Amino acid sequence: MAVLTINNRFGANGGRLASTTPRFSLSRFGGRWLSPLALLLLWEAGSRIGLIPERTLAAPSAVLGTLVEMVMSGELPSNLLVSFARVAAGLLIGVGLGLALGLVAGLSRAGELAVDPLMQIKRTIPALALTPLFIVWFGIGETPKVALIAFGTIFPVYLNLYSGIRGVDLRLLDAAKSFGLSRWEQVWHVVLPSALPSLLVGLRYALSVSILVLVVAEQINASAGLGYLINNARDFMRTDIIVVCLMVYAILGLGADWLVRTIEARALIWRPSIVEL
C-alpha cells in the first residue's frame, strides 16, 4: 500500500514535470504519418537498388505513374464505374430486402415466426460459399455478381433492424400510447427512430461486406471492372496495376465508411456525444 502511494506521487510529479516543460511533440506535427512514409521510402529504395524485383512488387513511383496513366486513358474510371454499379445494385437489393424483412419480423409476431427462422438458417451459409451455385443458376454475367452482393448484405441489415425494433424502450412506447398516438404513429415516432442507431450499424456492416464480396465476385470471368483489371494484370505480371486496383478497393471501403458516418452524424444528431462535437 505504502509503495503504491509513493509510486503514485512519483507518477504525479513526473506528469507535472512533463506537462510544464515545453517539448517538441511529434504527434502534433503529423507524427502518425511518419512510419507509413518511412515504409514507402524503404519500398522505393528497395525497388531502385533491385532488392524488390518489379514482377514481385512495382515501386511506389511506378504505381503512381500507372495510376495517372490509367486515369488519363479513362481505363480506371470506366472500370471503376462498372464495379461501383455492381456494388450499388447489389446493395440496393440486399439492403432493401433486409429492411423489408427486418420490418416484417420486428413489427409483427407472425412476421417474426415466418421470417426469423429462415434468416437464421441463411446466416449459417457464408455468402461466398454460394458462388458455384450462383454461377450454375445465373451464368457468368453480371447477375451472379450482383446476386452475391445482395445475398451477403441482407443479413446484417435485417438482424440489426430487427433487434433495434425489438429493443425499443417500452416506457417510451407507453408514454406515446398514453397521449393517444395510433399504432402507426407509435411506429413512426417511437419505434423506428429508436431502431435507427442499430440499423446504421447494420448498414455499415453491409457496406464492408459488399466490398468484400465484390472482390471475390469480380474474379468470376469478368470482362470489365476492377476485378477484370486485376485478373488481366496478373496474366501480364503487371504488379503496378494490381497495386493501383488494391488502392482503389481501399478507397472504396473508406468512402463507404465515410458515407455511413455522414448519415449517422445527421440522423443521430440528438445523441449527446455527437451534439457536443
Partner 1 sequence: MDARLGFSTVDSAVHQPHPDPVVRLRDFTRRFGANTIIDGLDLDIAPGEFIALLGRSGSGKTTLLRTLAGLDEVRGQDVEVPTSRAVVFQDARLLPWKPVWKNVTLGLKGDGVRERSEAALKEVGLGHRMDAWPLTLSGGEAQRVALARALVREPSLLLLDEPFAALDALTRYRMHDLVLSLWRTHRPAVLIVTHDVEEAIALADRVLVLDTGRIVAQERITAPRGERASFAARLREKLLSHLGGDDHGDGVVRFAPIAEAAE
HEC profile of 97-131: HHHHHHHHHHHCHHHHHHHHHHHHHHHCCCHHHHH
From the list 6-14, 69-77, 104-112, 263-271, the region that binds partner 1 by CB under 8 A is 263-271
Smallest distance from partner 1 to CB 207, Å:
23
Q: How many chain residues are in contact with partner 1, going by CB under 8 A? A: 22
From residue 5, give the alpha-carbon distance in Å to each of 1, 16, 18, 219: 6, 17, 20, 62
How buried is residue 223: exposed, middle or buried, by Cβ count under 10 Å (0-12/13-18/19+)?
Answer: exposed
* Interatomic CA distance for residues 121 and 100, integer angstroms: 18
Which is nearer to partner 1, 24 or 184 (by Cβ)? 184
Sites for partner 1 among residues 61-100 (CB under 8 A): none
Which is nearer to partner 1, 97 or 172 (by Cβ)? 172
Residue type, 260: V
Which is nearer to partner 1, 111 or 193 (by Cβ)? 193
Sites for partner 1 among residues 168-227 (CB under 8 A): 171-172, 174-181, 185, 189-190, 193-194, 196
Sign of torsion, CA 48 52 54 60? negative
Q: Which among 180, 245, 181 is positioned nearest to 219, based on CA atoms?
A: 245
**272 interacts with partner 1 by CB under 8 A:** yes
Smallest distance from partner 1 to CB 169, Å:
8
Which is nearer to partner 1, 179 or 258 (by Cβ)? 179
Smallest distance from partner 1 to CB 275, Å:
6
Mark 136-175 with x for binding to partner 1 (rule: CB under 8 A) and - for no binding: -----------------------------------xx-xx
Q: Cα angle vertex 268, ends 265, 272, to 5°?
A: 95
**16 interacts with partner 1 by CB under 8 A:** no
Cell of 22: 515545453
Which is nearer to partner 1, 81 or 170 (by Cβ)? 170
CB atoms within 10 A of CB 152: 25
Smallest distance from partner 1 to CB 211, Å:
30
Q: Are 229 and 81 in contact (CB under 8 A)?
A: no
Smallest distance from partner 1 to CB 196, Å:
8
**How many angstroms separate the most distant Cα atoms in the chain?**
78
**275 interacts with partner 1 by CB under 8 A:** yes
**19 interacts with partner 1 by CB under 8 A:** no
Smallest distance from partner 1 to CB 101, Å:
24
**270 interacts with partner 1 by CB under 8 A:** yes
* Interatomic CA distance for residues 247 and 76, integer angstroms: 12
What's the DSSP call for residue 21?
A: S
- Residues forming contacts to partner 1 in the complex (CB under 8 A) are 171-172, 174-181, 185, 189-190, 193-194, 196, 268-272, 275
